[in-house]
Structure 1
């Protein structure tokens, strides 16, 4: 290994993101667009709401007709109209009257507010008694208050969550152009590995479980890709080559283990034989130092370390952003959050250290980060984390109470510290 391979994490991420591009688009039904990246701007074809409507169940009134209403001196108004949701007023609101109206129903022209039913006697007869004038000019949602015709609803690259899907529905989009999900081959390496169908070998102490294959496939699916299982390549160049050739229809490949310089680590040799164009072979990060990246047959190829925590951290930091870019997302990297160090944190100065942390909220509203436990690269349990706390290169200690940045991996789990 040369010093040129020992590149900074920032250089590595730039190389990875610079090597990939969005894969193009496909048209999918709106229900299938959830979690996908929108391809093109969406504009409103109609206003929302489409009419002045009531935000409450109650009675539409003119303000001048209810001024001064209170419990001991109610205002009594005749009910001139009854407008359930799905119906429309018979006409403008007659002065000196009230119209019964349900939430979402159009309010009659001339109404200035909707008195909530709790401030009335419910209008059991032809009249309604109003006991409070606080709603005289409230609870009417105006036409186009939320969205006007021609407004931009969503920008390209937006991740389509539930609210975005709802906006697309309001725009009448039964089908949506979204980024194509990358097909990514997932390969594990090593004679010592077995999968779930041979778990008895694990129980007997003869083999270890291929947890990386399952973890990487899960990470790919969560990142917006379709994982393609390539199985376990044995420590045999022929088997390794055969499995790599199975990925001919994939857009990228992620391979776990076999990328170091051990006598039986054949990945580098086989990659070279297949025309691998290397961008880097090692990164100044911990865990995940022995991460490989380049192109194989024009497709991105990552080789992540075999130690479980190393593999998962390398994926989160150097694979996931590229997969998201390939899938068309405008923001491929997670946004970090400011937290308070709940303990001293330490790491080697020469590298970026990604510490696995749990985050909890204090009564004062601060987010406090603490280690999940032992941080060894083989500790898979350390990845049951709320986030990754990055100690930058050149920093070996962060003291308790300092402000730190944490990359979220999931919802903050604990309500209190």
Structure 2
């Protein structure tokens, strides 16, 4: 068995971002930018009013109250064509361009109008309630930097900068193959000794959530020739993820399949729990990540190995940042030589810190426990017994 860090390093070694492609802004959400995005206009393009009111000259507001003459109005999208001179005012609305000569806006509720005469009872100094040109951004300014996964806010900013097309990384095409005579799809008849497959669907959901395109190859039976045919179907994909068949039984055929001509087995077995029978290799030009068959093992390994791989393929760092920490809500026994990933709940202590409580049952077949967990507690190999309150590394499961 090799350590988790070594396995992860070998899986991620040499992974380069996929080529870029151009997409319409309406299809950009969740994609990773491959080029900076610069504004194609200045926003606002001119000084504009921030409120409904009257565009006036600050010099005419001393003293107050001041009596001014209405000379027109400026709705948004219809600038006033003239110039505001001494003792004059223009009715203006939010977002409208400030008329020439005016340098401040007084609020409509601070004024009275009768017969074309405007009485200003209260007002501010020069520039009050005026948004200057370029307040948000100016033409040529970079608003979004390459290497960023686009959020709803990013899409809004790109649209405001008048950018209809964005250069993003191509989405990784990930072939997903479940294996085993005992595996059936949800909704199919479940015969004696069979189990319903959750792994393929869960992996497809993870791939899609992380920005990839899942390519489902179905379920390969425990037959070497059939398995080889399914593996060959992954040609043209950026990655092949298999689940099951990676252990030591006579019907666990993945290692055998990666010994055939045109394939390669890089490593097999990782010192982790759950997830020991994990393998990495190649089928032709396609990297292979072989995950265990137990559903919790599959998903924990996907979180530890597949997620960072998908991020690298899209030009992102493999991790979001330093691993968060929590304090143990209850003591843990000493660990053995395998790195442990314990399903746990999270709660807030009175001082605001996070408390992580490992579930009493950690069987790798229990999807219900994984679904109920808030995080994984990471226990390094040979970690000593830890009393309650010990600070530990966690992997949050929010959205996973």
Deviation string 1:7-37 (CA, Å, 9 cap, x unpaired) is 2222222222214222212222221122111
Q: In the alignment, which of 242, 245, 252 is matched to residue 239 of structure 2?
A: 252
The offset of 1:288, in angstroms, is 2.0
The offset of 1:320, in angstroms, is 1.4
| C-alpha contact 2:41 2:162 (8 A) present in aligned 1 | no
| C-alpha contact 1:337 1:408 (8 A) present in aligned 2 | no
Q: In the alignment, which of 15, 18, 21 is matched to residue 13 of structure 2?
A: 18
Q: Does 1:89 align with 2:80?
A: yes
Partner of 2:378 in structure 1? 390
Q: How does 1:233-382 map to 2 (within 5 A)?
A: 233-326=220-313, 328-336=314-322, 338-341=324-327, 343-344=329-330, 346=332, 348-359=335-346, 366-371=353-358, 374-382=361-369
For residues 113 and 406 of structure 1, what CA distance do their matches in structure 2 show? 54
The total of aligned residue pairs comes to 398
The offset of 1:314, in angstroms, is 0.7
The offset of 1:229, in angstroms, is 1.0
Partner of 1:195 in structure 2? 185
Residue 134 and residue 293 in structure 1: after superposition, are their counterparts in 2 closer, same or farther (change >3 A)?
farther
Q: In the alignment, which of 4, 11, 32 is matched to residue 9 of structure 1?
A: 4
Partner of 2:155 in structure 1? 165
| C-alpha contact 1:61 1:136 (8 A) present in aligned 2 | no
Greater mean deviation of Cα atoms: 366-375 or 276-285: 366-375
For residues 268 and 201 of structure 2, what CA distance do their matches in structure 1 show? 24
The offset of 1:375, in angstroms, is 3.0
Deviation string 1:141-178 (CA, Å, 9 cap, x unpaired) is 22112222222222222212222223332343322222
Residue 96 and residue 22 in structure 1: after superposition, are their counterparts in 2 closer, same or farther (change >3 A)?
same
The offset of 1:282, in angstroms, is 2.0
Q: Does 1:35 align with 2:23?
A: no
Q: TM-score, normalised by structure 1?
A: 0.84
The offset of 1:400, in angstroms, is 4.2
| C-alpha contact 2:222 2:251 (8 A) present in aligned 1 | yes
Please provide the CA RMSD for this pair: 3.0
Q: In the alignment, which of 131, 155, 168 is matched to residue 145 of structure 2?
A: 155
**Structure 1 alignment gaps of length 5 or more:** 1-5, 413-417
Residue 151 and residue 298 in structure 1: after superposition, are their counterparts in 2 closer, same or farther (change >3 A)?
same
| C-alpha contact 2:173 2:239 (8 A) present in aligned 1 | yes
Residue 386 and residue 195 in structure 1: after superposition, are their counterparts in 2 closer, same or farther (change >3 A)?
same
The offset of 1:191, in angstroms, is 1.5
The offset of 1:303, in angstroms, is 0.6
Q: TM-score, normalised by structure 2?
A: 0.87
For residues 232 and 47 of structure 1, what CA distance do their matches in structure 2 show? 55
| C-alpha contact 2:175 2:237 (8 A) present in aligned 1 | yes
**Structure 2 alignment gaps of length 5 or more:** none
Partner of 1:230 in structure 2? 217
The offset of 1:313, in angstroms, is 1.2
Secondary structure class of the residue paired with 2:153:
helix
The offset of 1:247, in angstroms, is 1.4
For residues 369 and 147 of structure 2, what CA distance do their matches in structure 1 show? 32
Q: Give the helix-richer structure, 1 or 2.
A: 1
Q: How does 1:199-214 map to 2 (within 5 A)?
A: 200-201=189-190, 206-214=193-201
Partner of 1:415 in structure 2? none
